[in-house]
Amino acid sequence: MSIVDSIRKEVERNALRARNGIKMAAGVSSVKNGVTPRDLVWRNGRAELYRYRNDDIRYRPPLLIVFSVVSRAYILDLTPGNSFIEHLLAGGFDVYMLEWGEADERDARNGFEYYVDGAIPAAIREVCKRSEADEVSLLGYCFGGVLTLLHGAHHPDAPVRSHTVTACPVDFTQMPPSLGSIGDDVDAVLGDDGNVPADVVFSAFRSLKPTADINGYVDLLEKLWSDDYVKAYQSMNGWASDHVPLAGELARQMSTMLMRDNAFVEDKLVIGGDHVSLKSITVPFMAVLGEKDHIVPAAAAAPVMDLVGSEQKTELRLKGGHIGLVVGRTAAKTTIPTIIEFLQKQSEAR
């Protein structure tokens, strides 16, 4: 490329930077998240069960995804062409998503028992009824994985064909100290509604990478000319800033049982007054973790392989970070195809 061509290219990019910069400053965004068609099929309090539309279901049993309790589920259906859900549907699965909504004063007393003994079993029953199935495949994302593990430990006879967890912590001594700041004195950070406010949750996660905003803005300025990059930035940055309140009682139990007692590793799990163990989980199991995950480090997630009682278990360890396990090129090339292959092996053709 000649000097003249290089100058012309940079002038064109500067014009595009100016255009996109003005749009962003004005709050204009063409990004639409979570657009894969779905239907709300069941509700329990703030908990909502969605079924994604799929005219080409080729495998049974249906797949139930249990999402985290502190963020929005659209990260799994970020944008068309960059969607975990899209891949699962194309893979031939009947996909459901259990989301927890925004905790308010009615949820302040919801502890592990509400999720593990109430909502998840009820959602499994609803999925089985609607899909005319005897069991489900279960997938827990991030803290949703903690909930599915506790459910499996307390309900080992639940109708679950296989169990997958993604970016799921079990050894809380290996979690970043700043996340433990919420648990140091839960009551001190509770809002008037008895829950941990969304901005407190956001601050705890943002403190994990205090320079993330600066680095992100530098990269954005350099690539502001690219419409694709700007759309991806708006999608990811929007989701990373979009947290929800955490139920107060759940936060207290997390603080004592998971953070203080490290109950998964130390065999001190208690649900509903019952001592439970991950050894009770014996169905085919897969754990997906990222070596560069700054939220759930590999050292916090990997011990689950030794804790569950499954004879057939698979660890998928990637070099990516927390979000990169389900979003982006690495996810599309490695994570998602491997999860789909695992699920297909545990399924039968319809």
pLDDT tier for residue 81 given thresholds of 50, 70 and 90: confident
> Which tens digit of pLDDT belongs to each residue from 275-298?
999 999 999 999 999 999 888 999
Task: Name the strands in the sheet holding 95-99, side by side, starting at the edge strand that comes first in the sequence.
Answer: 38-44, 47-52, 95-99, 63-66, 136-141, 160-166, 285-290, 313-318
Which sign, positive or negative, has the C-alpha torsion 11, 14, 19, 22?
Answer: negative
- Share of residues in the chain with pLDDT > 90 (%): 63
Please give the average per-residue pLDDT across 212-237, as a whole number. 49
List domains and CATH numbers for the chain. Answer: 31-197+245-349 (3.40.50.1820)
Q: How confident is the model at residue 350 (pLDDT cuts 50, 70, 90)?
A: confident
pTM for the full predicted model = 0.84
* Mean pLDDT, residues 47-58 taken together: 98
pLDDT at 217: 40
> Which residue reads 């699920």 in tokens?
343
Residue 82's pLDDT band (boundaries 50, 70, 90)? confident
Per-residue pLDDT reduced to its tens digit, 323-349:
888 888 888 999 999 999 999 999 998
Q: What is the pLDDT of residue 215?
A: 40
Residue-wise pLDDT for 118-152, tens only, equals 999 999 999 999 999 999 999 999 999 999 999 99
Query: For residue range 189-204, what is the model confidence (pLDDT) as tens digits?
Result: 999 999 999 888 877 7
How high is the mean pLDDT of the chain? 85
Rounded CA-CA distance 249/186 in Å is 9
At 210 the pLDDT is 42
pLDDT in tens, 230-281: 555 555 565 566 778 999 999 999 999 999 999 999 999 999 999 999 999 9
| Three-state secondary structure of 180-192 | HHHHHCHHHHCCC
pLDDT-based confidence at residue 220 (cuts at 50, 70, 90): very low
In angstroms, the CA 187 to CA 194 distance is 8
Q: What share of the chain is helix, strand, coil (3-state, %, to 5)?
A: 50, 15, 35
- Split at pLDDT 50, 70, 90, the class of 226 is low
Residue 211 has pLDDT above 50, yes or no: no
For the stretch 3-35, pLDDT in tens is 655 555 544 555 545 554 455 455 545 566 678
pLDDT, residue 40, reads: 98
Residue 123 has which token pair?
């959602």
Per-residue pLDDT, 214: 37
Q: Per-residue pLDDT for 184 more than 70?
A: no
